[in-house]
Amino acid sequence: DAKTTQPTSMDCAEGRAANLPCNHSTISGNEYVYWYRQIHSQGPQYIIHGLKNNETNEMASLIITEDRKSSTLILPHATLRDTAVYYCIVRASNDYKLSFGAGTTVTVRA
Amino acid sequence: GAVVSQHPSWVICKSGTSVKIECRSLDFQATTMFWYRQFPKQSLMLMATSNEGSKATYEQGVEKDKFLINHASLTLSTLTVTSAHPEDSSFYICSAFKREGAREQYFGPGTRLTVT
């Protein structure tokens, strides 16, 4: 059972913000939203995670709706090196496992 | 940061032989490590959870006698693919769960296995 739903692919322009949506309508109260990305032929890279508040770090911002049923990852100024598959994953605080779905293939174009 | 390395980064072996892949957490201790497999154009599939000093826990459908996992120390886990066949050709990725500080999974760069 997929706990998250993401668009299959999206394009964005270099230098512009990239907004990646994720639906997780069945999320439980103790489950966090995690974002990872995987550049071609590399291991996944942790980006950010959150429970209910919006989060920001040096890589991205995470906006979680008040009902927690969806979220948006924002890459503020996309570069060509941000081209990757982005995975939105829901994980309980006491569960170490990560279940990867198909993710969103993001292509940043010059 | 938390760095996880894998060795080798790629390997080619003949059908019927065994291949060992190492996963190391370089700057932190990891009581738990995970092994994933990724076929071309597919997502990562969890194969097993490796706990230091105990037997690995395998996901449904993963043959434990074929994919031997050893986690002998807090910084090293190994995956041995025994009697490899061409269908075992894949990208194998490990991750290490940091036990202190930011309790997140950090992934290795992956090992590309090709069985001829």
Q: State residue B53's pLDDT score.
A: 83
Whether A102 has its CB under 8 Å from any CB of chain B: the answer is yes
B29, two tokens: 């201790």
Mean pLDDT of A34-53: 94
B104, two tokens: 């997140």
Q: What is the mean pLDDT of chain B?
A: 92
Q: How far is A60 from chain B (nearest CA, A)?
A: 17
- Convert the pLDDT of each residue in A46-87 to its tens digit: 999 999 999 999 999 999 999 999 999 999 999 999 999 999
Q: How far is B75 from chain A (nearest CA, A)?
A: 17
Q: State residue A93's pLDDT score.
A: 78
Cβ contact A41–B112 (<8 Å): yes
Mean pLDDT of B57-64: 95
Of A26, A107, A106, A21, the closest CA to residue A64 belongs to: A21
**Which of A4-8, B70-74, B80-84 is least confident?**
B70-74
Whether the pLDDT of residue B102 is over 70: the answer is no
Q: State residue A71's pLDDT score.
A: 97
Mean pLDDT of A29-45: 94
Do B84 and B71 form a contact (C-beta atoms < 8 A)?
no
Grade residue B104 by pLDDT with cuts at 50, 70 and 90: confident
- Convert the pLDDT of each residue in A15-35 to its tens digit: 999 999 999 999 999 899 999
Return the HEC string of chain A.
CCCCECCCEEEEECCCCEEEEEECCCCCCCEEEEEEEECCCCCCEEEEEECCCCEECCCCEEEECCCCCEEEEEECCCCHHHCEEEEEEEEECCCCCCCCCCCEEEEEEC
Do A31 and A92 form a contact (C-beta atoms < 8 A)?
yes
Whether the pLDDT of residue A36 is over 90: the answer is yes
Residue B60, beta-bridge partner list: none
Mean pLDDT of B4-13: 97
Do A25 and A69 form a contact (C-beta atoms < 8 A)?
yes
Grade residue B92 by pLDDT with cuts at 50, 70 and 90: very high
Cβ contact A46–B44 (<8 Å): no
Mean pLDDT of B32-57: 92
Whether the pLDDT of residue A97 is over 90: the answer is no
Chain centroid offset of residue B90 CA: 12
Q: State residue A38's pLDDT score.
A: 97
Q: State residue A81's pLDDT score.
A: 96
B86, two tokens: 């061409």
Cβ contact A97–B34 (<8 Å): yes
